Structure 1
Amino acid sequence: MHTNVEQGARAHTTVYPILIAISVGHLLNDAMQAVIPALFPILEASMDLSYTQIGWIAFTLNMTSSILQPIVGLFTDRHPSPYFLPLGMAASLLGMAGLAFAPNFLFVLLSVLLVGLGSAVFHPEGARVVYFAAGAKRGFAQSIYQVGGNTGNALAPLFTALVFVPFGQKGAGWFTIVAMIGIIVLFRVSQWYSRKLEQKGHARKQGSVSKVAQKERNHIISALSLLIFLVFARSWYSAGISNYYQFYLIEHYDVSIREAQLYLFVFMIAGAIGTFVGGPLADRFGKRNLMLFSTLGTAPFALSLPYLPLGWVLPVVFLAGFILSLSFSTFVVYAQELLPENVGMASGLIVGLAFGMGALGSVVLGKIADTYTLKSLMIMCSFLPLFGILTYWLPKDRRSALDR
């Protein structure tokens, strides 16, 4: 009895050193992914690539890193693999070395494939580490983890300016050092994770795992499908702003390219702040409540954005990015608690498949802008946060197996 009490206490304890370490790993992993779009201008000039070939590079990265995540997650749910974390980083190391010395387009694609594979392997197991290390603060823990990834992605413009402009394609070689640091950090995390799995296995032998009834399973599938749709909608809105709003500013307000970047940076930095703030709010006020507020609460700002005078754009862009991102980590935690025995697959479905496919929606949005006008695209995007009303039909927050 005393042992069970101790195990329960440990299950509710937040392990901050592990959370910080896996967040650093997430930063390094996503920073290496950010190397690829940062390299686009260099590769386009040095290899004389067409925009179609650039598109294929982006497609290869997105397809590999996103679509494989739920598949890897399903495998690791059945066969937890702590040392997939450093192995994934090793694949990214090989990809970085390949990018630095790639002689042609096909070699670039192969290198990008390795980086995408490394990312697909890292994310499901990384999310499971966060799940175990979170204790009772799941939302806050997921925020720490996701802020690492968001920061890594946001470094892309700095990579272009500080690394690839002076060093060219060979500048990618510097990121093999980043990968080596990541391998060391993640190896230590894997050791802790391996011990945690042994404890979990021992606890399961002492207790029993209840089977989910068919009716309950149908409710879970419905809720997960709705959750993925909501992530699609918010991701498409974010892609519309991130990829095309700068062109709208240049065309509609006659601002310079440099000035337009400021508005985009404000949107992205607001998103990073919102991601960090949102986790503790979800822990306090409920995940479904925060998702409803975040998605639907963005709508007034999104709907007004295409029509505002320039002086109002900066604060509204900040508020839209901040409120939209409050639920970034909460979607992942909610999916994990829907599928407590399939944490890796749940994380892969939200972080990988849903967010990845949402990002690929930028191709569709670009076609809309080409066929109609940028203003038409911005107006159409502004209605996407209204889908947040569907959050009301999600089930109320459930406690996971670790909380019981």
Structure 2
Amino acid sequence: MNEKIILDINEKPKPAVWLTLSFQHLFAMFGATILVPFLVKMDPSVALISSGIGTLIFLLITKFRVPAYLGSSFAFIAPLIAAQTGGGPGAAMVGSMMAGAVYAAVALIIKATGHRWILRLLPPVVVGPVIIVIGLGLAGTAVQMATNNPAGDYSLLHLSAALVTLSVTIIFSVYIKGFFNLIPVLIGIASGYLYSLAIGIVDFSKVANAKFLEMPNFTMPFLDYQPEFSWQIFLLMAPVALVTLSEHIGHQMVLSSVVDRDLVQNPGLHRSIMGDGLATFAAALLGGPPNTTYGENIGVLAITRVYSVFILGGAAVLAIAFGFIGKISALISSIPTPVMGGVSILLFGIIASSGLRMMIDSKIDLGDKRSLIISSVILVIGIGGAVIKIGNSFELHGMALAAIIGVVLNLVLPGSESKQKNAHKEGRSGQSSAVS
């Protein structure tokens, strides 16, 4: 790299610098990480703790050679909601464990056979449209959150809180430079919260009554639910791993470019995928959402040129500590739904746009019938919510069905192998924009 590295991967910073830079990474991931549990009705404190534990697991598995932070995955929002609706919180956690197990299985196969096959299985022409489905499939949820009051009726007052949140987030994303440009989501949520306090739609009593130190609401197997394998839950959650695996690969390629090392070869893609999978499995054991590597934190690494894994580990420890502070948990829980709806409008739109960007960066030619057919079928099946049901035990629908059909179409439709390889090579930068 042309720019001078300030702290390399295994360099330890001075204590004051260590704490400051760890807080910066904590802020970068904070807004998105707490938004996911807010949407799927999980405890945000558990999400913070599981993201911190997951990051430490990831660093350990990758031999402290990959400076990455793991936070809540947006790709699993719709499947988690569907799993909870059908079988409660326990079903959602079992599904998350299954997704983690898929990661682990893929990691072992990659270790034995290499990683080229997974790039051919998940080219941008498949992953791009699926990412678009993730974003647009959640669009209705974001709008309802932004426009409705707690009773579910339209409210202009609540909509105003969403618009203030959205406006501030956009302003800090576009017009503000420096550190604050790294945390526009967090600033937008804070501004929306202050505005909501001013117009009287915040219940602050929980914050006042909360203890400083408090045990989060963990949802643990055998204590809170009996784990049971279900093909329906497996088919709901496991196919989403196809999308997040591609996202993970893209992040590792971009991160390799940032730190000027080939992380795909050393410590190896099998190690980083295994770390990601074990982090998701650990999160499920605690009652948190699945984890994934965060592009936001990769952006912080690129801007600061500080790559130390000690700083990422410090951010993980801070996240775990925050999860046990009752005042912080109560403060997060008191955020009005329209505030989260306002920021969701932008984030879900960015998710969809990142899928489109992946296709553009990969030079996917929609004038080519093969590419047009694959992307078109994925979009309509995913956004339309198509369902395959066989009896009462087998159900495959929405994004999971779209992802599987996309993979099948890519394998069976005639096309040039060399074109797919070129698309992968040219589209690696686009994959870095995939959903968190």
**Which of 1 and 2 has higher RCO (CA within 8 Å, sep 6+)?**
2
Higher helix share: 1
TM-score (norm 2): 0.28
